[in-house]
Amino acid sequence: MGKKDDTFEMLEEKSAAFPKSVLILLLILLLAGVGIATYIIKQHNRPVKSDITMGDSYGKNTPAPSQPEATTNNGSSAGITETVAVKALAPVTLVVNFDENSVTIKPEQVLRIQSFYQQIKDWAGTIEISGYTDDLGSASNGLIISRQRADNVAAVLKGLSNDNRFKFTTRGLGEENPIADNTKTEGRAKNRRVEIKFTPAP
């Protein structure tokens, strides 16, 4: 075979190899394109996480808003809304102390009652008010004083609420249920008290 024939043979080999490399390159590009398209579709369909949270407003006895659930707009142009769960208010309690043989509520105790009301004002429910005394004096006099103390505390709360949202129950229990030693001055001072308990309506 001459030089001319060798040249034609080499050209035929090159032309036969060229389509194979192009085919492999096209196949690689096709697979890469499918992979990229799959990734984009997955990213587009991924659910969006909500970052809406409910903050505390009142510290320990935190009341949530007065509705059991709230609806908020997520800011999209479609006006889609999300329902946010709201935690329930736990019972709130307060102890108000009195001077010996007195039914007068001291100014600092009035401030504490006002603070108590601020924690429950957005809720409906029952307010139980129980008055107590130390063991000095007769038991019958203790019952009278303890009931007067409970009534006076109820009057302050009713003056603050000025609506029918709360159901009040008041009682005087005299020397019952002491929380401290009545043989000591400090103990008797703790026992001269009114206990307030608010329980939200279900």
The pLDDT score that the predictor gives to residue 81 is 44
The pLDDT score that the predictor gives to residue 37 is 67
The pLDDT score that the predictor gives to residue 146 is 98
Handedness of CA 181, 175, 195, 105 (dihedral sign): negative
Separation CA 67–CA 164 (nearest Å): 18
The pLDDT score that the predictor gives to residue 73 is 43
Nearest to 130 by CA among 154, 106, 108, 112: 154
Separation CA 141–CA 128 (nearest Å): 22
The pLDDT score that the predictor gives to residue 100 is 94
Structure tokens at 76: 């999209």
The pLDDT score that the predictor gives to residue 150 is 98
The pLDDT score that the predictor gives to residue 44 is 59
**CATH superfamily name and code, 92-200:** OmpA-like domain (3.30.1330.60)
Task: For residue 100, give the amino acid letter.
Answer: E
Q: Domain segments of the chain: what residues? A: 1-46, 92-200
Residues 6+ apart with CB under 8 A from 142: 133, 134, 135, 174, 175
Residues 6+ apart with CB under 8 A from 187: 134, 178, 180, 181
Nearest to 89 by CA among 124, 135, 45: 124
The pLDDT score that the predictor gives to residue 89 is 78
The pLDDT score that the predictor gives to residue 6 is 55
CA 186 vs. chain centroid, Å, equals: 37
User: pLDDT means per 10 residues in the chain (202 residues)?
Assistant: 52 56 74 72 54 34 40 44 55 96 96 96 95 95 97 96 90 96 96 97 90
Distances (CA, A) of 75 to 32, 82, 84, 170: 36, 10, 15, 49
Structure tokens at 90: 């736990």
